[in-house]
Amino acid sequence: VASEKLPRPRPRADELELSGEQMRRLLDAAAKRTIAHVESLPRQPSWATEGGEQLARSLREEMPEEGRPAEELLDLVFEKVIPASLNTAGPGYLAYIPAGGLFQSAVADFVAQATNRYAGVFSVAPGLVALEANVLRWFSQIVGYPRESQGILTTGGSLSNFSALVTARRERLPENFLSGMVYTSDQTHHSVEKAAMLAGFPHGNVRVIGTDETFRIRIPDLESAIAADRRAGKTPFLISANAGTTNTGAVDDLRALADIAEREKLWLHADAAYGGFFALTAEGRRILAGIERADSIVLDPHKSLFLPYGTGCLLVRDGPALKRAHALSADYMPTMQDDPGMPDFNLLSPELSREWRGLRVWLPIKMHGIAAFRRALEEKLALAREAADKLRVMPGIEIVAEPQLSLVAFRANRPGWDVGEANEVNKALLDRINARKRVYMTGTRLGSRFVLRLCVLSFRTHADAVEMALEDIRAALEESS
């Protein structure tokens, strides 16, 4: 047998284990740099990716046989690696959909990782699962879901959309699902199409419906498409509604979509990765009315709950559907149970082993209360509206998408410019704004128009940062005229 081939006695290999003192020293070294870094965020440039390829080449190295001092490694990370990026954690980050990065959540994650208990099965970690289940129940409550709903924490919107699609496929389509049709708008996040691709749907099965002047899906066009597909022998089964698009923050008419889904017996999915937590505010509830009628909802706590990257969520109204789509077990697994109040997360999600994601959500909410998050979200809504008001009166600027949530899209325009000219001007304008490195904004295409977007979502972004963005827009406009 193989056992005879090994030399004995084998040496005790404990060099990876740190003493209490070594742990303290390592954490102190990391903490000192991290806290100084976070404190300096408002003074850091909004991006610093120049020379990125050169940096990457300089960092390339062979697998190290021997170790290096931690302080030296942390210096490299804090001095060279982290600064050379978009400052996604800073107050001037108004690009894409900003993530937060609450320090409280990072601390919770440290606790979860260093204690390293397994939270995928209730019976082996009832307390860990209970805290995570609390968080999911609170989220259900925020969107107005009933008690029998269930949820999972994921790493982000993409995997949440994927699990939603897999759940809908299981509930609404036969084993041969290849004629199943998904309906999105031309503003839908590409992760929905990607989810369909990963789930095995043929490329042509995602039907893209046009949007109106507020970038909401055109309801009559959706109805016609569904009818046409039925006539052609296709099997409509899912409408993916937007509750806050990435381009403009548009929220589809969720009540109208729920009516159609009900009538046509389709699964209504709401991608509320960006918009969902605005349901904590009165204004958000008004805008998101009808979301509680969706069969599944994607929320990203790392967006509108300000948490660090890697924290997504999927809620399914008919909780057991999540399990029907994801459950599979084996002889070597621990005992599972069936009380939906005490879930075995591995049966509800694609993941088996994974980090205890619940704590990083639970700790900040418990420390501050949900009211603090509500107030922060109210501020973001108001800041975007103020920004829109000021952009609206800025000479040469036209608002292309009024803020529905906390995002405004706009562009420079003048009578006589054709769309190509305008696009060139606006790309140059964006570059000039970002060249100041006080704020960072991004553009997108809306139809043929290139537009600039200003998205207020970081908990670190207040009126001063938005004011700075407006100043830099004004200055860049002046430079270009």
DSSP string, 253-294: -HHHHHHHHHHHTPEEEEEETTTGGGGGSHHHHHHTTTGGGS
Contact 274, 306 (CB under 8 A): no
The answer to whether 397 contacts a second copy (rule: CB under 8 A) is no
The answer to whether 128 contacts a second copy (rule: CB under 8 A) is yes
The answer to whether 104 contacts a second copy (rule: CB under 8 A) is yes
**Strand duo 206-209 + 180-185: pairing:** parallel
Contact 325, 167 (CB under 8 A): yes
Residues 331-350 that bind a second copy (CB under 8 A): 331-334, 339, 341-342, 350
Closer residue to a second copy, CB minimum distance, 65 or 418: 65
Count of residues engaged in binding a second copy, rule: CB under 8 A: 185
Contact 77, 37 (CB under 8 A): no
Axis crossing angle, helix 370-392 with helix 463-480, rounded to the nearest 10: 20
Residues 275-334 that bind a second copy (CB under 8 A): 283, 287, 300, 302, 306, 308-310, 312, 326, 328-334
DSSP string, 202-218: -GGGEEEEPB-TTS-B-
Q: How far is the CB of 185 from a second copy (least distance, A)?
A: 13
Q: How far is the CB of 177 from a second copy (least distance, A)?
A: 7
Segment lying near a second copy (by CB under 8 A), choices 231-239, 262-270, 371-379, 425-433: 371-379
CA distance 306 to 318: 28
Closer residue to a second copy, CB minimum distance, 411 or 453: 453
Backbone angles phi, psi at 125, to 5 degrees: -160, 65
Q: How far is the CB of 349 from a second copy (least distance, A)?
A: 9
Q: How far is the CB of 188 from a second copy (least distance, A)?
A: 9
Which neighbouring-strand residues pair with 157?
none
The answer to whether 420 contacts a second copy (rule: CB under 8 A) is no
The answer to whether 64 contacts a second copy (rule: CB under 8 A) is yes
User: Binder to a second copy among 259, 264, 318, 379 (CB under 8 A)?
Assistant: 379
Closer residue to a second copy, CB minimum distance, 162 or 410: 162
Closer residue to a second copy, CB minimum distance, 235 or 444: 444
Site string for a second copy, 168-187 (x = CB under 8 A): -x-----xxxx---------
Closer residue to a second copy, CB minimum distance, 21 or 418: 21
Residues 226-245 that bind a second copy (CB under 8 A): none
The answer to whether 208 contacts a second copy (rule: CB under 8 A) is no
CA distance 129 to 115: 15
Contact 158, 199 (CB under 8 A): no
User: Binder to a second copy among 43, 67, 233, 393 (CB under 8 A)?
Assistant: 67
The set of residues, in sequence order, having a beta carbon less than 8 Å from that of 85 and lying 6+ positions away, is 47, 48, 49
The sign of the CA dihedral 357, 37, 303, 199 is: negative
The answer to whether 400 contacts a second copy (rule: CB under 8 A) is no
